[in-house]
Amino acid sequence: MKTLTLLRHAKSSWDDPVARDFDRPLNTKGRRAAAMIGRHLKTLDMRFDHVIASPAIRVIETLDEVWGGYGRKLEPVWDKAMYLASASSLLDLVQSLPDAAGHVLLVGHNPGLEDLTLDLTLDNDLRDRAEDKYPTATVAQMTLPIEHWRGARSHSATLVAFIRPRDLDPTLGPDTP
């Protein structure tokens, strides 16, 4: 059995004048949400053997905040191919993970993470929530009935957790007009 956890970067700032999308930082709400997610991961005692992340600024800043809440820093493998990767590219990445890793955390972007979640998982109530909306700083955790990552296939995993920041603090939900 393998466990895969996907974390979408926290809310970024569109007000910050940057030359490239890759360089967009988090906004204040995104920082708060990422720190809260980190604290929640700690309360759930989630542990990761291997972390792979997009090197986009908003992902780096998300992880800094998550690790602050989590209480310890894990060093990711920075993989530029994760920047705006499609679900099929992410699945290729999953299938090439080291088998020694039992619980992997991927940190990146939508729509790839949402699409990968929906592609890998079987129907259940959590999957319905993910299909409805996969907001920033959301965690999706799934178990895969495999011994080797290369065996990861569509519609084979069970979504066991789907945690949105607004589930932990309603003020971290969508802005109201």
**Is the distance from CB of 79 to CB of 93 less than 8 angstroms?**
yes
What's the whole-model pTM score?
Answer: 0.95
- Calculate what percentage of the chain has a pLDDT beyond 90: 89
Spatial distance between the Cα atoms of 54 and 82, rounded to a whole number of angstroms = 5
pLDDT in tens, 30-63: 999 999 999 999 999 999 999 999 999 999 999 9
- As a whole number of Å, the CA-based R_g of the chain is 15
pLDDT in tens, 136-177: 999 999 999 999 999 999 999 999 999 999 999 988 887 644
Where do the domains of the chain lie, and which CATH numbers do they carry?
A: 2-14+21-172 (3.40.50.1240)
pLDDT in tens, 87-128: 999 999 999 999 999 999 999 999 999 999 999 999 999 999
Cβ contacts of 76 within 8 Å, gap of 6 or more: 51, 52, 53, 63, 105, 107
pLDDT in tens, 87-97: 999 999 999 99
What DSSP line would sit under 61-86, residue for residue?
Answer: HHHHHHHHHHTS---PEE-GGGTT--
